[in-house]
A and B are shown apart, each in its own frame.
Chain A
Amino acid sequence: DTGVSQNPRHKITKRGQNVTFRCDPISEHNRLYWYRQTLGQGPEFLTYFQNEAQLEKSRLLSDRFSAERPKGSFSTLEIQRTEQGDSAMYLCASSLTRRETQYFGPGTRLLVL
């Protein structure tokens, strides 16, 4: 059984550039969540999908952030015009249904120079 996968694992970019991360959830999991984790903190919720529908976005998700989940399979998280404050670990999790346990991927570590 394949777990949640995320690509790339690491990304270094210059301020002002756009970056895109991908998350492949566990097969048949219809819920997909994105979290952000900064150094020394716990992960913080960004957004989630029920199949292909994005149902909630955190106030942390500025208008420079956009997420999609076409066809209810993989998801992408794009950050436009990156800022140094965007440097963090971006974590993706999936669950079979809304009340089931969320399983996390290895994360994408972003560094904005």
Chain B
Amino acid sequence: AQKVTQAQTEISVVEKEDVTLDCVYETRDTTYYLFWYKQPPSGELVFLIRRNSFDEQNEISGRYSWNFQKSTSSFNFTITASQVVDSAVYFCALSEAGVDSGGSNYKLTFGKGTLLTVNP
């Protein structure tokens, strides 16, 4: 069964610092997708980034960047020059076909989240 682990429960930084959120996943599928979502205090989950299992190229999108390494099953997410508005809970999630359930569900399995607080 798929599993996502976010070892960091809470992180506190000062504005303009860089911060990296860790994510480790487990899956039996060879094709899967990894995501980061942000959940501000309002509660709505906001999609941030997505990566396919067959593409390990790391990218930068604005202040966001990610490091995907299949060898260590990790999908870490970095915010550069953090801002107070970045304060939220960040979730790493895994989507796969689901070999144990017919191979088509692509449901999301989430980690427990990391609470990021950016102080002014």
Chain A: residues with CB nearer than 8 A to chain B?
31, 33, 35, 40-45, 48, 50, 55-56, 89, 91, 93, 95, 98-99, 101-107, 109
Contacts and interface: CB of A to CB of B under 8 A. Distances in A.
Interface of B: 4, 33, 35, 37, 42-47, 50, 91, 93, 95, 97, 101-102, 104-113
A44 B110 contact: yes
A43 B110 contact: yes
B50 A42 contact: no
Nearest to B105: A56
Nearest to B106: A98
Secondary structure of the A side of the interface? strand
Contacts of A107: 43-45
Nearest to B93: A42
A102 B110 CA distance: 13
Contacts of A31: 106
Nearest to A108: B43
Given A41-B112, A43-B110, A45-B109, A55 B43 contact: no
Nearest to A33: B107
A50 B93 CA distance: 21
20 contacts: A31-B106, A33-B107, A41-B112, A42-B91, A42-B112, A42-B113, A43-B91, A43-B108, A45-B108, A56-B101, A56-B107, A93-B108, A99-B33, A101-B35, A101-B47, A103-B47, A104-B37, A104-B45, A104-B46, A106-B43
